[in-house]
Chains A and B, each alone.
Chain A
């Protein structure tokens, strides 16, 4: 098979551009909003109030128990039939952040539970309220524990955003699909797209390593 080098040269930048203008901002926005949802859900699940805890459980169960693609379709193609029409950008951000919220909630809950009870008690004995103890003592320690699993969530998210191509959202993979259809070079263009995703994820992994090293300064080895 002859490799069409010219096509690779011509298509690389449009694909990368699709990543920079679509995949990456969508991932960053969804992850940030998703983490906020996750923190709220984790705290609700840990609440002693059974109703509050149940709401969080139900949310997590629905998000994790249904396909992301179906969630995207409900929001983009389903909501218009009850009068709510959203364009691709808000649809994608809502679907992906809600999804991250469900998965990361369990990560954050586990991280909070991993902080020894003595840390809560030490906070109480220096006069702190529950909220202050959580904010100043528990969450900073939980953050360290949750870096590796949350990095997983983030990397999955970056790749999952390719599903947004199915709701007409222009990102990396949709660009690749357009180029492939036009050039008929499916193998070449899709492998090219895969490599660009891979490079993005390598950058993220190195970010994870750096973050872990920063947190490690207060941990014994």
Chain B
């Protein structure tokens, strides 16, 4: 259940007036987000609503046409069409991302995948990083897979490696982009359980998901998006049980009653 009241948490990340168009199509029309420290925010909405784009703007993978993203105590990154990946790099020192398709490095073993960032980017000591990686892998039940290659693992195992790879960077914010959408149904539970544990431990996270029951379980705040705008936001019980907006009502109804 909710462990932090979004209203009272110290803000960790603030995104203001994010805008993004792909060609003629405006996918984001002025999005504002405020994520408190230790808070879990779930972005939901129909496909094409812009929720994944919002997530990708938060670490500059997608460069918004306008708007600003700033971490608590860090410089604000003001976006414009010419903003480079390099300028967005400052955001990535504070966050880590878990992808829908895992995006593990296929030419590296599980352990190498996990220690790559801490070694190559953060320049930390190898012994220390390896020890941490091993304990994180053990935590998600993959200790004995450390020397295997990603293709030797199931999707659920690969995604847990993806989560460990993100955790090994010790970010202040975890971004999840539909982390279970590519998984076979029977593998979804293992991954959700790990995410739930992280939420309970107080990690701050933004989660794009179609798993409404899961969002209700872990999120402190739900943001419902449609056609590039935030339609409704609030406590999960309110947004999912008694949505105020007609579009939210329809979406929630459709997901909960697919037939």
Which residues of A pack against B, CB within 8 Å? Answer: 116, 118-119, 121-122, 124-130, 132, 136-137, 140-141, 144, 217-220
Contact = CB atoms under 8 A, between A and B. Distances in A.
A217 B149 contact: yes
Q: Closest 7 interchain pairs by CB?
A: A126-B117, A220-B151, A122-B103, A127-B121, A118-B103, A125-B97, A218-B149
Interface of B: 59-61, 85-86, 89, 92-93, 95-97, 99, 101, 103-108, 116-117, 120-122, 149-152, 165-166, 169, 175
B101 to A, nearest CB: 6
Which secondary structure dominates chain A's binding surface? helix
B99 A121 contact: yes
17 contacts: A121-B61, A121-B103, A122-B99, A122-B104, A122-B105, A124-B60, A124-B89, A126-B121, A127-B93, A128-B120, A128-B121, A130-B85, A130-B86, A132-B120, A132-B121, A140-B107, A144-B107
Contacts of B108: 218
Given A124-B59, A126-B117, 6 more contacts: A122-B104, A125-B175, A129-B89, A130-B86, A217-B149, A218-B106
Residue among A116, A122, A144, A217 with the highest chain B CB neighbour number at 10 A: A122
A118 to B, nearest CB: 4
Contacts of A219: 106, 151
A217 B148 CA distance: 10
A138 B61 CA distance: 17
Contact of A136 (B116, B165, B175): B116
A136 B106 CA distance: 12
Contacts of B116: 126, 136
Contacts of B89: 124, 127, 129
B73 to A, nearest CB: 18
Contact of A218 (B86, B101, B122, B151): B151
Contacts of A130: 85-86
Given A118-B103, A119-B105, A217-B149, A125 B96 contact: yes
A125 B99 CA distance: 10
Contacts of B122: 127
Nearest to B151: A220
Contacts of B121: 126-128, 132
Contacts of A125: 59, 61, 92, 95-97, 166, 175
Residue among A128, A129, A140, A218 with the highest chain B CB neighbour number at 10 A: A218
A121 to B, nearest CB: 6
A218 B153 CA distance: 11
Residue among A127, A136, A141 with the highest chain B CB neighbour number at 10 A: A127
A59 to B, nearest CB: 27
Contacts of A141: 106-107
Contacts of B59: 124-125
Nearest to A218: B149
Contacts of B166: 125
B107 A127 contact: no
A137 B85 contact: no
Contacts of A140: 107
A116 to B, nearest CB: 8
Residue among A121, A129, A220 with the highest chain B CB neighbour number at 10 A: A121
A21 to B, nearest CB: 38
Residue among B86, B104, B106 with the highest chain A CB neighbour number at 10 A: B106
